[in-house]
Amino acid sequence: MARKPPFSEDPFQVPPDTLGLSAEEMRRLGHKVVDMVVDRFERRNAEPVVTTGDAADLTNQLGGALPNMPMDPDASLDLMAEVALGHMQHGDHPRYFARVPGPASFAAILGDWMGTGFNSICASWGGGSGTAIVENTVVSWVAEMLGLPSQTEGVLLSGGSLANFTGFCVARSEVGRGVAYLMDQTHASLPRNLRQMGLNDEEIRILPSDETLRMCPDVLAASIEEDIGKGLKPMMVVATAGTTNTGAADPLEAIADICEQHNIWLHVDGAYGAPAAITQDGREVLKGLERADSVVLDPHKWFFQPYDLGMCFVTRPGALDRCFSMNPEYLKDVQADNEVNYGNRSLELTRRSRALKLWMSLRTYGAQSFREGVAHGIALAEEAERQLRAAPETWDVLSHAQLGIVCFARNGADSEDHAKRANRLSESGFATVSTTSLHGRTALRLCTINPLTTAEDIQRTLELLAAPM
């Protein structure tokens, strides 16, 4: 299509910045930001993995009186990098093994920067048709990578918490009110979501996990039968594709069979582990994922995206829109009847285009690089397990390497000792790991999903953890 002509032949000048920076200043500061970010990437390996500040000290440096008059932006950028952004956990550091790392890739960061720079919006068709198609595109690309059915729809949210909440709302809107089945290893944000949706305690079943910390299909089936016998209506089963604690994946095929038999909505929380399905080994472990009615994946964890980004997929066409559509008079001009309006797919109306970063990074690196990156994380946890098993006098493997996570104990250590070792390691700045508890047994935990992490990183980390207190 030809470009629209300008209003006037007069090239009248518009001030470039709403609040007064000159174009020259904008370029200079923008280039400085790029340099600061790339400089950090180049020396990331040498920075402390976590730095926590003192609240009074941080407030002293970052707070102060409301700046009524302009201040020097260079000084503010330097202060931001050094103090505000310097006192964080660096989830993209190669030796960040705690909770869930966030190994963001640079092409994805560029996508986010462009979206912010152009003040991108993806809410209605008329308000952002280009960004809507980008979101459609990344939803179908990732659905294809995961092996979900071709009719799958989706929406991008801030993270797993909101993506799971969105899937739960769709489940209830499609099947009506009833009981939801979770287990004791389900992420804590999920029962919180259900309570805030208005489910009462009688409608939330937290089933005990089996000895491998998975949902047990027999326990699930018995609980469902019991509820049906009591005249209750099962609404949804929430399975986990890779728990945050151990990476264990629930037996999705067996759970899908039970859901099919009773016509219950199957929601799979793959916020952590769903990316494993793009690799050959992971696809085996997550067999049955393609039978879910809704699936959640957190690209800001194991899909190389900067915070924040969660995805909710729904395999039943139209269900997202049936749940969240609203058509008020003030949106009639921009909402198209036959095209997607992303403001009608979750509780967010005005929303930036979170799809740009995923689009940019999948195009820049290719799905094959994502596959290799995820496979590296799976293999590295297996390497960590090999190293642990090679030192049985020191370590006891409590949960074998599963989807990038391994849990272990130091022989004879109690939870206090584990906490002290983990804390000493974090304070050294070299690496950071998590402590957790598995069926009451205290554990240390490594999550190894950063493609930059090496076997030597793991070896040195285990040495530091094992050193005499």
Ligand X SMILES: *Cc1c(COP(=O)(O)O)cnc(C)c1O
Q: Give the footprint of ligand X on this chain (CB under 6 A).
A: 100, 159-161, 187, 189, 240, 244, 269, 271-272, 298, 310
> Phi/psi at 335 (nearest 5 deg)?
-85, 125
Q: Decide whether 303 or 395 has the Cβ nearer to ligand X.
A: 303
Shortest separation between residue 241's beta carbon and ligand X, angstroms: 8
Shortest separation between residue 251's beta carbon and ligand X, angstroms: 16
Shortest separation between residue 310's beta carbon and ligand X, angstroms: 5
Q: Decide whether 220 or 271 has the Cβ nearer to ligand X.
A: 271
Query: In sequence order, which ranges of 348-414 are alpha helices (DSSP H)?
Result: 355-365, 367-389
Shortest separation between residue 242's beta carbon and ligand X, angstroms: 7
Q: Decide whether 132 or 446 has the Cβ nearer to ligand X.
A: 446
Shortest separation between residue 159's beta carbon and ligand X, angstroms: 3
Alpha-carbon distance of 194 to 82, in angstroms, equals 40
Alpha-carbon distance of 166 to 24, in angstroms, equals 44
Tokens of 312: 């909710």
Largest CA distance in the chain: 81
3-class DSSP state of 248: coil
In the chain, the amino acid numbered 334 is V
Angle between helices 217-229 and 252-262 (to 10 degrees): 20
Alpha-carbon distance of 420 to 437, in angstroms, equals 15
Shortest separation between residue 402's beta carbon and ligand X, angstroms: 13
Q: Decide whether 112 or 227 has the Cβ nearer to ligand X.
A: 112
Q: Decide whether 235 or 271 has the Cβ nearer to ligand X.
A: 271
Shortest separation between residue 295's beta carbon and ligand X, angstroms: 12
Count of alpha carbons within 13 angstroms of residue 457, beta-carbon side:
23
Q: Which residues of 118-131 are buried (b: 16+ CB within 10 A; e: fewer)?
A: eebbbbbbebbeeb
Q: Decide whether 75 or 188 has the Cβ nearer to ligand X.
A: 188
DSSP letter string over 152-206? -EEEEESSHHHHHHHHHHHHHHHH-S-EEEEETTS-THHHHHHHHTT--GGGEEE
Report which residue's Cβ sits closest to ligand X: 160
3-class DSSP state of 404: coil
What is residue 5's DSSP assignment?
Answer: P
Q: Give Cα 240 to chain centroid, integer Å.
A: 14
Question: Cβ(422)–Cβ(444) under 8 Å?
Answer: yes
Q: Decide whether 112 or 298 has the Cβ nearer to ligand X.
A: 298
Q: Decide whether 258 or 447 has the Cβ nearer to ligand X.
A: 447
**Cα→Cα distances 19→26, 70, 80, 115, 381, Å:** 12, 11, 21, 20, 50
Shortest separation between residue 63's beta carbon and ligand X, angstroms: 27
Shortest separation between residue 328's beta carbon and ligand X, angstroms: 29
Shortest separation between residue 413's beta carbon and ligand X, angstroms: 25
Alpha-carbon distance of 458 to 49, in angstroms, equals 14
Burial of 190 (0-12, 13-18, 19+ CB in 10 A): buried
Q: Decide whether 224 or 312 has the Cβ nearer to ligand X.
A: 312
Q: Decide whether 132 or 443 has the Cβ nearer to ligand X.
A: 443
Shortest separation between residue 243's beta carbon and ligand X, angstroms: 6
Burial of 390 (0-12, 13-18, 19+ CB in 10 A): exposed
Q: Decide whether 159 or 167 has the Cβ nearer to ligand X.
A: 159
